[in-house]
Amino acid sequence: MFSEKPAEVLVAGAGPVGLFTALSLARRGVGVRVVDTGVWACTHSYALALHPQTLPLFEELGLLDEVLAQSCLVQSVALADASGPRARLALGVDYPEESLAVIRQEALEGLLERALAKHDVYVEWRHEVDGLEQGTDWVRASIDRYEKESRGYIVAHTEWVVAGSATTEFQYVVGADGYNSRVRRALGYDFPEVGAPQYFAVFELSTDAELKHEMSVVFGDGTANVLWPLPDGDCRWSFLLPDHRDPSVEGIKNVLESSGFGHFPTERSKDRVPSSEGTHDDILSEASLKQLLAARAPWFDANITAIKWRSVVRFERRMASGFGHGRLWLAGDSAHLTGPVGVQSMNAGLAEARDLAFVLACILKDGEPTSLLEGYSQRSQAVWEQLHGEAGVLQPGPEADPWVAAHALELQSCLPATGQRLSAMAAQLGLQFAAPVLK
């Protein structure tokens, strides 16, 4: 069953950012429709934590208690190297009651989807936006519906095929459809790399480690690695692999670049399944894990009773040439990608979702001018200019510890904050941006 209220806004993508956008719109009385190419909600993903500055956004939606109930709360960040912790950072410097909430993406999406259902809005899974056409006061979307079809005579198999298509007009379309966004392509935006891709070896472990509500960022030999406590008492280690390359993935990327499609990101699976280990078995072996720990964090001497999941994950750093115009707008990974340590892309995307939904509701329900959308674009762009170092880079002040000062540039992408809160968090360490940002 789907809402009978006419949809004024189509949200493409039902990840955390798309669901948050849709729920924010529905709560403000805007008719919304949500489509996603997935068969059902994501069961596993790398995305993991909500920044302290993100939690008030969920409080606005009446979901904070439910978020916290499914989270492991992190109240400090240890900055370390192979010798052990070298500095500590208290989270929520302006709001001491706030913590970083470690919550799995599937849990986050589940609570958002349930909240949407209370507004009679249901995600239309197995639906894909196939084409978009903008008019002066409308946007026409062609949406394909997929179904499984059995094929083959001697050896039967099933595959997803287009079972039907429909064209519908909306007043606005929000592209929260990820790194291969159809909405971004319809806008004609490039999606160039702003830094080299990074590979991480990721292990989820059952251990007797006492992490004490603390995450650790561990530097060494040009790498930034991270240790996360998990809600179920386990932990996750992510190790940067500076010399690793996946020949098949890099080959596809080279073909795209030579064909003039270098702005197309490569695939990154969200689902964590045994086959995701693929050709990376040696890197993901128990012996490799022990070697990585011995080299980068020998102080982590907890007993490891089980490796519950392991994978090599490739992260690209990209930035779209805009956040939208006219009737098409972007939020989340459809507009930006970055490294995983500080969980900055998802959290910035959730802030964008709240901002964009508020602006669209003002336009659609209160008759405010469409020029408000330019403000959304400028604010979002400013956040990412800061994160990518285009508006200044972190530099040590006179009170910065020498070890922290040596890692100032690396910390810019590793701290769990964006915007003004990133500046405040860096100031705890005696760091400041070289140029004024986000006035």
Indicate the pLDDT class of residue 12, thresholds 50, 70 and 90.
very high
The DSSP annotation for 409-425 comes to HHHTTTSS--HHHHHHH
Measure Cα distances from 433 to 194, 274, 330, 397 in Å. 19, 42, 27, 10
pLDDT at 116 over 70: yes
- Quote the tokens at residue 144: 């394909």
pLDDT at 80 over 90: yes
Alpha carbons 430 and 428: distance in angstroms, whole number: 6
Alpha carbons 170 and 137: distance in angstroms, whole number: 9
**Segment 16-74, tens digit of pLDDT:** 999 999 999 999 999 999 999 986 555 556 668 999 999 999 999 999 999 999 999 99
Position 161 scores a pLDDT of: 85
Position 43 scores a pLDDT of: 53
Position 277 scores a pLDDT of: 39
DSSP 7: P
Alpha carbons 226 and 202: distance in angstroms, whole number: 10
What average pLDDT is seen over the chain?
88
Nearest to 308 by CA among 245, 233, 241, 199: 233
* Predicted structure pTM score: 0.89
pLDDT at 148 over 80: no
Indicate the pLDDT class of residue 103, thresholds 50, 70 and 90.
very high
Alpha carbons 426 and 439: distance in angstroms, whole number: 16
> Which residues lie below 8 Å from residue 45, measured CB to CB, with a gap of 6+?
104, 105, 106, 270, 271, 272
Ranking 36-45, 73-82, 116-125, 305-314 by mean pLDDT, the lowest is 36-45
Grouping H, G, I as helix, E, B as strand and the rest as coil, residue 390 is: coil
pLDDT at 149 over 90: no
Average pLDDT rounded to a whole number, residues 344-366? 97
Neighbours of 65 (CB within 10 A): 9
Measure Cα distances from 6 to 113, 168, 338, 369, 437 in Å. 19, 11, 36, 22, 41
Alpha carbons 245 and 248: distance in angstroms, whole number: 9
**Segment 237-256, tens digit of pLDDT:** 999 999 887 656 555 454 44
Position 48 scores a pLDDT of: 84
Nearest to 142 by CA among 126, 130, 133, 125: 130
Nearest to 391 by CA among 433, 357, 420, 356: 433
Average pLDDT rounded to a whole number, residues 118-131? 96
* φ, ψ for residue 150, nearest 5 deg: -80, 135
Alpha carbons 173 and 180: distance in angstroms, whole number: 16
**Segment 316-353, tens digit of pLDDT:** 999 999 999 999 999 999 999 999 999 999 999 999 99
CA 50 to chain centre: 10
**Segment 153-177, tens digit of pLDDT:** 555 555 668 888 999 999 999 999 9
CA 319 to chain centre: 13
pLDDT at 435 over 70: no
Q: Which residue has the higher pLDDT, 236 or 151?
A: 236
pLDDT at 410 over 60: yes
Alpha carbons 263 and 233: distance in angstroms, whole number: 40
Longest dimension (CA), the chain: 75
The DSSP annotation for 236-290 comes to EEEEE-TT---HHHHHHHHHHHHTT-TTSPPP------GGGGGGGTTTTSHHHHH
Alpha carbons 173 and 123: distance in angstroms, whole number: 15
Q: Are 209 and 235 in contact (CB under 8 A)?
A: yes
pLDDT at 362 over 70: yes
pLDDT at 263 over 60: no
Domains of the chain, CATH where assigned: 9-48+104-191+320-387 (3.50.50.60), 197-316 (3.30.9)
Ranking 261-275, 297-311, 409-423 by mean pLDDT, the lowest is 261-275
Indicate the pLDDT class of residue 2, thresholds 50, 70 and 90.
very low
Q: Which helix (H) or strand (E) holds 64?
A: helix 64-69
> Which residues lie below 8 Å from residue 53, measured CB to CB, with a gap of 6+?
98, 347, 351, 417, 418, 419, 421
- Quote the tokens at residue 64: 């904070």
pLDDT at 266 over 60: no
Position 247 scores a pLDDT of: 56
Indicate the pLDDT class of residue 315, thresholds 50, 70 and 90.
very high
**Segment 200-224, tens digit of pLDDT:** 999 999 999 999 899 999 999 899 9
